Amino acid sequence: MPATSNSTRPIADLKLAVDDVGGPEIFRSFQGEGPMQGRVRTFIRLSGCNLHCRWCDTPYTWNWQGTNYRHVDSEKFAPAKEMTKLGLAEALDRIVALNAPGVVITGGEPLMQPRQVLALTQAIKGTRADISVEIETNGTLAPHPDLIEAVDLFMVSPKLRHSGNDPEVLSLGIENFREVKNAQFKFVAKRQTDVITVSQATRGIDSRRVWIMPEGRNARALNNSLRKITRATLRRGFNLTDRQHIRLFGDKRST
Ligand code: SF4
């Protein structure tokens, strides 16, 4: 059952990824991708994902030991070590203490914890109405209307076939958010044909809502993808985003 702001059921603790020292992964950094690139944000990374992208840069949120999901890194992770729980009040305290003008709720897939995410969003807005709340999602889980009303921006990243997921996750991610006015789309692309696929899949959506982002977990791979996708992106009037945090900090946790 979806979350509602009026529900009297207690809100379960948030399930978070852990940082390098074993604490909940809540940190302050620059947003590295999409329309907010370069802006200071507090990130809260939730654990668990319903997709299994083979190039995912946060496999420690889902690629558990005992599963047969395929990933470019062969490493598997233990949920007991990589997942931690945090009550809403403590999560809010930590977010407010970091004092950024915006919060990014990311993952993993945040909408796997819909009641907690709604409650956290409403708590942030109730405490500091001036803080922008942005949610990064793969789009496969439709957002509750209360959440649509509460957040400032959904950054929806439907996955193309090269992610290794079922082909239908691309259209599912687009259709769940097509009519959500505060949603923009970000597609990971490796080659020109990926941009063409995006162009076909987003027919009817204003190109100003669409961002193309190079696949890559290091500067060399990003440059390689950019070389192949830039002209096709420009031709179709889509926005182009880099992955600034990878260039600044490398592929590291809490950046
Ligand atoms: S949807 Fe995002 S978090 Fe989930 S596997 Fe894909 S890239 Fe990783």
Instruction: Specify the residue for token string 């793969």.
Output: 138
Looking at 3.40.470.10, 3.20.20.70, 3.30.300.30, 3.40.50.2000, the CATH number of the domain 14-186 comes to 3.20.20.70
Q: pLDDT (tens digit, 9 = 90+) per residue, 43-63? A: 999 999 999 999 999 999 999
Q: Which atom of ligand 1 is nearest to the CA of 61?
A: 3
Report pLDDT for 252.
94
State in Å: Cα 134 to ligand 1 middle: 17
Q: Which atom of ligand 1 is nearest to the CA of 107?
A: 3
| pLDDT cut 90: percent of the chain above it | 96
pLDDT beyond 70 at 5? no
Measured CA to CA, the distance from residue 221 to residue 208 in angstroms comes to: 26
Q: Are 239 and 248 in contact (CB under 8 A)?
A: no
Annotation-wise, does 31 bind a ligand? yes
Q: Which atom of ligand 1 is nearest to the CA of 165?
A: 6
Tell me how crowded residue 204 is: count the other CB atoms within 10 A of its CB. 6
Q: Which residues contact 170 (CB under 8 A, 6 or more apart)?
A: 158, 159, 160, 161, 197, 201
Annotation-wise, does 94 bind a ligand? no
Q: pLDDT (tens digit, 9 = 90+) per residue, 194-242? A: 999 999 999 999 999 999 999 999 999 999 999 999 999 999 999 999 9
The stretch 128-148 carries a mean pLDDT of 98
Closest among 139, 87, 67, 76 to 110, alpha carbons compared: 139
pLDDT beyond 90 at 26? yes
Report pLDDT for 52.
97
Report pLDDT for 115.
97
Q: Which atom of ligand 1 is nearest to the CA of 59?
A: 8
Distances (CA, A) of 111 to 54, 63, 137, 147, 160: 20, 18, 7, 10, 19
Q: Are 250 and 220 in contact (CB under 8 A)?
A: no
Q: Are 152 and 134 in contact (CB under 8 A)?
A: yes
State in Å: Cα 8 to ligand 1 middle: 31
State in Å: Cα 224 to ligand 1 middle: 21
Q: Which atom of ligand 1 is nearest to the CA of 50?
A: 4
* 124-131 LR contacts (CB < 8 Å, sep 24+): 124/92, 124/95, 124/96, 125/150, 127/92, 127/96, 128/96, 130/101, 131/100, 131/101, 131/102, 131/103
Tell me how crowded residue 85 is: count the other CB atoms within 10 A of its CB. 12
Measured CA to CA, the distance from residue 39 to residue 117 in angstroms comes to: 22
> Whose alpha carbon is nearest atom 2 of ligand 1?
108
Q: Are 207 and 238 in contact (CB under 8 A)?
A: yes
Annotation-wise, does 132 bind a ligand? no
Q: pLDDT (tens digit, 9 = 90+) per residue, 62-91? A: 999 999 999 999 899 999 999 999 999 999
> Whose alpha carbon is nearest atom 8 of ligand 1?
56
If you average pLDDT over every residue of the chain, what do you get? Answer: 96
CB of 49 closer than 6 angstroms to any ligand 1 atom: yes
- CA angle centred on 166, ends 230 and 159, rounded to 5°: 30
Annotation-wise, does 108 bind a ligand? yes
> Whose alpha carbon is nearest atom 6 of ligand 1?
53
Where along the chain do its domains lie? 14-186
**Which DSSP category does 10 fall into?**
P
Report pLDDT for 4.
44
CB of 138 closer than 6 angstroms to any ligand 1 atom: yes
Report pLDDT for 3.
40
CB of 107 closer than 6 angstroms to any ligand 1 atom: yes
Report pLDDT for 1.
38
Annotation-wise, does 181 bind a ligand? no
Q: Are 98 and 42 in contact (CB under 8 A)?
A: yes
Report pLDDT for 9.
86
CB of 56 closer than 6 angstroms to any ligand 1 atom: yes
CA quadruple 100, 249, 61, 26: dihedral, nearest 10: -20
pLDDT beyond 90 at 6? no
The H-or-E segment that residue 122 falls in is helix 114-127
Measured CA to CA, the distance from residue 169 to residue 154 in angstroms comes to: 17
Annotation-wise, does 45 bind a ligand? yes
Measured CA to CA, the distance from residue 191 to residue 184 in angstroms comes to: 21
